[in-house]
Chain A
Amino acid sequence: MKSSRRKFLQIAGLSALGWSICPSLLQASGHGGGEGGNGQGVRWAMAIDTRKLDDKLMEECVHACHSIHNVPKINSKQNIKWIWSAPFEKLFPGQMHKFLKEVPEEHTLALCNHCGNPSCVRVCPTKATFKRPDGIVMMDFHRCIGCRYCMAACPYGSRSFNFADPRRFLKEQNPDFPTRTKGVVEKCTFCAERLDEGKRPACVEAAKGAIYFGDLNDPHSEVRQVLKERYSIRRKPGLGTDPSVYYLI
């Protein structure tokens, strides 16, 4: 008894020592937060003007995004969506009260929020989902193993799983952007490929001024200006994911 307690204390002491020498172990569990988006550098963000958007404009935004990114339209629960329109009560469940129901159900656009603290990145076992230094939560479709942890982790339902080969549902293909394959998760990438060319995201262009886009860390950027002037809310802010998509009310 006596010797085993001594042994236990020795091992406990050594492990504590090891833990203190190697603090990276403590950080290993959270590769989601950290660098990027908190201080210097670019942090891309979007401000969606809910007053300017109407059904037609939203449809154009969705079409612009889905057509250039080869997103298929599947008429079932297996549908894939990068950007879509949804009623306020679905987007802002915490902001609803019974008198709001008197207003006819209004819709606005929803997409991946490119969170500052993305839960999908933290749970991804292969780091197929990762956060770029400019705040974009990217998908590496090459690496995705289709475990769908990210879908479970995302509180916004922004991710879709390819149950079947998406090419079967595509009438036209844009050869400049890959289709995905069966068994991978996909989502909006804030048009990272267009940003790298110096263009703005496709939905921002299609929205004709109803969506503002820019760098959150630049006080002169379009988003910062409009966030200064207008009142804005974000989806489910209490969850601490720090979304980069703002809704102007």
Chain B
Amino acid sequence: MYDGGKIIAGLAVFVLLFTFPFWYNIGNAAYTRPKLELPKEAKECVEKTEWMRAEHMQLLNHWRDEVVREGHREYKSMVAGKTFNKSLTKTCMKCHDNKEKFCDRCHNSLAVKPYCWDCHVAPKGEK
């Protein structure tokens, strides 16, 4: 075998780098879902909690297109049977009035940075 030493050393470096994320995290606590502060007064969301957890980004994306481009502002809920105003600030944030303790906790722990808040104004009363 030519240059056996170099090959084996190279392979070792490769394996070390490739598995870096695994052994770097050894000993760290496992991921736990962050505790969110739920609204005190409101009892139900526009949809079920599990559905909202998985789909809220798609829902908000649809809402924004339907409101801005088509002028459809009413959302008919699949569970409650009620209609809601398709609005991040007027519907969502009226109940979830603390962005830091609701939106940000999950987004931060998952390193997701939605740019909603570059334009939309977070409700007052936080800080």
Contacts and interface: CB of A to CB of B under 8 A. Distances in A.
On whether the two chains bind one another, the answer is yes
Interface of A: 70, 130, 132, 138, 140-142, 173-181, 192, 196
Contact of B121 (A130, A173, A192, A196): A173
A175 B89 contact: yes
B123 A140 contact: no
Interface of B: 64, 68-69, 71, 73, 89-90, 93, 115, 118-124
Contacts of B89: 175-176, 178
Contact of A178 (B69, B71, B120): B120
B68 A138 contact: yes
Contact of A176 (B68, B90, B118, B122): B90
Contacts of B90: 176
A142 B68 contact: yes
A138 B70 CA distance: 10
Max count, chain A CB within 10 A of own CB: residue among B89, B115, B118, B119: B119
Contacts, number: 34
B69 A130 contact: yes
A175 B68 contact: no
A180 B119 contact: yes
Contacts of A192: 71
Nearest to A165: B118
13 contacts: A132-B71, A140-B68, A141-B119, A173-B121, A175-B89, A175-B123, A175-B124, A178-B121, A179-B119, A180-B119, A181-B118, A192-B71, A196-B73
B61 to A, nearest CB: 9
Contacts of A175: 89, 93, 121-124
A177 B87 CA distance: 10
A175 B93 CA distance: 10
B123 to A, nearest CB: 6
A177 B89 CA distance: 8
A70 B121 contact: yes
A190 B89 CA distance: 21
A91 B34 CA distance: 57
Contacts of B122: 175
Contacts of A178: 89, 119-121
A36 to B, nearest CB: 12
Given A176-B90, A196-B71, 8 more contacts: A130-B69, A140-B68, A175-B93, A177-B121, A178-B119, A178-B120, A178-B121, A180-B119
Contacts of B69: 130, 138, 140
Nearest to A175: B121
Contacts of A174: 121
Interchain residue pairs A-B with the least CB separation, the first 7: A178-B119, A181-B118, A175-B121, A178-B120, A173-B121, A140-B68, A181-B119
A179 to B, nearest CB: 6
A142 B120 contact: no
A23 B101 CA distance: 55
Contact of B64 (A132, A142, A173, A180): A142
Contacts of B68: 138, 140, 142
A140 B122 CA distance: 20
A70 B69 CA distance: 21
Contacts of A176: 89-90
Nearest to A197: B73
A84 B100 CA distance: 37
